[in-house]
Amino acid sequence: MKLTPEEQAMLDGAAGWSTRKAMEILVTLGTIYGAERMVEVTSVQVAGVSYDNLGEAGLAFLAEMAEGGGRARVLTTLNPAGMDVEDWRPLGIDATFAANQQRVLEAFARMGVVTTCSCTPYLVGNLPRYGEHIAWAESSAVCYANSVLGARTNREGGPSALAAALTGRTPAYGYHLDENRRPEVTVQVNARLEENTDFGALGKVIGAKLEGRKVVPTIVGVERASLENLKSFCASIATYAGAALFHMPGITPEAERFSCPAETVAVSQDEIDAAARSLSDAEPGEVDLVSLGCPHLSLREVARIAELLEGKQVTKEFWITTARPTKQIADMMGYTQIIEAAGARIVADTCCVVAPIRGRFTALATDSAKACYYARAKNRFKTLFMPFDEVVAEALR
């Protein structure tokens, strides 16, 4: 790889041990994936934050990087942690886990990382613009940044994203390059999409149709999609198809740059309905955890939940998960008070996918196709997949 003098100095250790380690990681990845040079990044999102995933090894590495003088050179935010950092006890988190989770966040804070723990950094101040090079981990946010915002990122892992934060660089390969953003297959949607669940089901159908092929799709036939619909869709297509980028004419900014590829895959209403049904394997009577907020809820969604819960009482554990800054606005607007008066919990910094709750519940009701996948695979829950308002109704039933 061709490095600038500043990049070479970082690799030689002029900026300290941690920066050298970080540059070694980036140069090696650049070599493996055939990058010719580095690009400067303007924004980083780091994954590998929950102590449940990191373990003692990950924590030791982060502490060593902080100790070795590592400092973020660009705006850097974090993925969800394993608990609400300020209010973890009501979630059934034990004190040892909480102490370890705090040590993880302290290590990041020492490196100058903004410790908002969210999978939707683009809703809480880490919002890249069109064409910017960034280095993000968190598959749903990567897909949102590339597709909806038109920023440019590969699917980073925890350590490679941190390395980008400490150097302000990432190797120029993959989705940073024009030629790799070109669509390779057209997905023709012949179905009505309204709810987050419709978009989540579409992600699952596309995953099955592409059969593991890592191709960029152009998705035609979608007339309207809200921010919340796109947030759900990105989480689903990243989970079920491994997609990091799609185009949607009339909706995503880069779609107009390309014509539709000749290879076409059609998606019918029946296929969307079947995918939605396949995401439910629980009976309504089995649900003992209800959760909205995968990915983290927008302010509009939190406000809607408050509207639906006002003056009522939930009958089940109900986690409403969002980023802390969104919760702070909800506090200010009185939404939190309404939600808590109804017996539900508004939970910041974490979600039902990353919190250490394996085996604690029987069945989860949610509108998130991604949450269904991880509830089954990681937490051994059954799932009930239903539209947003119906999830709230399930909590009240």
Partner 1 sequence: MKLVGRKIYSGQAEGEALVTSMAISFFGGVDPETGVVVEHGHELEGQSISGRVLVFPTGKGSTVGSYTLYRLKRAGLAPVAIVNAECETITAVGCIIAEIPCVDRVPIERLRTGMHVRVDGERGVVETGAS
Give the separation between CA 43 and CA 138, rounded to whole angstroms: 13
Q: Give the torsion sign (CA, 321, 322, 324, 328).
A: negative
∠ CA 323-325-327, nearest 5°, is 70
DSSP 285-344: GG--EEEE-SSPPPHHHHHHHHHHHTT---SSEEEEEE-HHHHHHHHHHTHHHHHHHTT-
Which residues touch 14 (CB under 8 Å, ≥6 apart)?
Answer: none
Among 10, 15, 38, 47, binds partner 1 (CB under 8 A): 47
Question: Taking CB under 8 A as the criterion, which residues in 126-155 touch partner 1?
Answer: 137
53 is an interface residue for partner 1 by CB under 8 A: yes
**Residue 25 interacts with partner 1 (CB under 8 A)?**
yes
Q: For partner 1, which is the closer residue by CB, 217 or 356?
A: 356
Give the nearer residue to partner 1 in terms of CB position, either 21 or 327. Answer: 21
Q: Does 31 bind partner 1 (CB under 8 A)?
A: yes
8 beta partners: none
Tell me which residue has tokens 């800054």: 325
- Taking every pair of C-alpha atoms in the chain, what is the biggest distance, in angstroms? 64
Task: For partner 1, give the closer residue by CB, 81 or 391.
Answer: 81
**Residue spans of alpha helices (H) in 146-268:** 158-167, 196-210, 227-241
Stretch that binds partner 1, among 50-58, 265-273, 296-304, 367-375 (CB under 8 A): 50-58
Residues near 285 by beta carbon (within 8 Å), at least 6 away in sequence = none
Residues in contact with 143: Cβ distance below 8 Å, sequence separation at least 6, in sequence order: 234, 235, 237, 238, 243, 244, 245, 246
- Residue 103 or 397: the one with the smaller Cβ distance to partner 1 is 103
> Does position 158 bind partner 1 by CB under 8 A?
yes
Q: Which of 14, 60, 177, 266 binds partner 1 (CB under 8 A)?
A: 60
Does 171 interact with partner 1 (rule: CB under 8 A)?
no
Query: Per rule CB under 8 A, is residue 159 in the interface with partner 1?
Result: yes
Q: How many residues make up the chain in this entry?
A: 397
Strand order in the sheet with 185-190: 217-220, 185-190, 264-268
C-beta of 65: minimal distance to partner 1 in Å?
9
Report the 10 Å Cβ neighbour count for 36.
Answer: 11
Interface region with partner 1, contact rule CB under 8 A, candidates 54-62, 68-76, 191-199, 340-348 = 54-62
Which CB atom, from 38 or from 54, has the smaller least distance to partner 1?
Answer: 54
Residue 55 found at the interface with partner 1 (CB under 8 A): yes
Segment interacting with partner 1, rule: CB under 8 A, options 82-90, 158-166, 210-218, 331-339: 158-166
Q: Kindly tell me which of 128 and 158 has the beta carbon lying closer to partner 1.
A: 158
Asked if residue 253 binds partner 1 (CB under 8 A), the reply is: no
54 forms part of the interface with partner 1 (CB under 8 A): yes
Q: Which one, 47 or 297, has the nearer CB to partner 1?
A: 47
| Shortest separation between residue 367's beta carbon and partner 1, angstroms | 25
50 vs 292: CA distance, rounded Å: 19
Report residue 231 as tokens.
């947030």
- Least distance in angstroms from the C-beta of 270 to partner 1: 34
Please report how close the Cβ of residue 227 comes to partner 1 at its closest, in angstroms.
27
Nearest-approach distance from CB 94 to partner 1, in angstroms: 20
293 touches partner 1 by CB under 8 A: no
- The CA-atom distances, in angstroms, between 313 and each of 89, 145, 354 are 22, 37, 27
| Least distance between partner 1 and beta carbon 396 (Å) | 37
Footprint on this chain of partner 1 (rule: CB under 8 A): 21, 24-25, 28-29, 31-32, 47-48, 53-58, 60-61, 137, 157-160
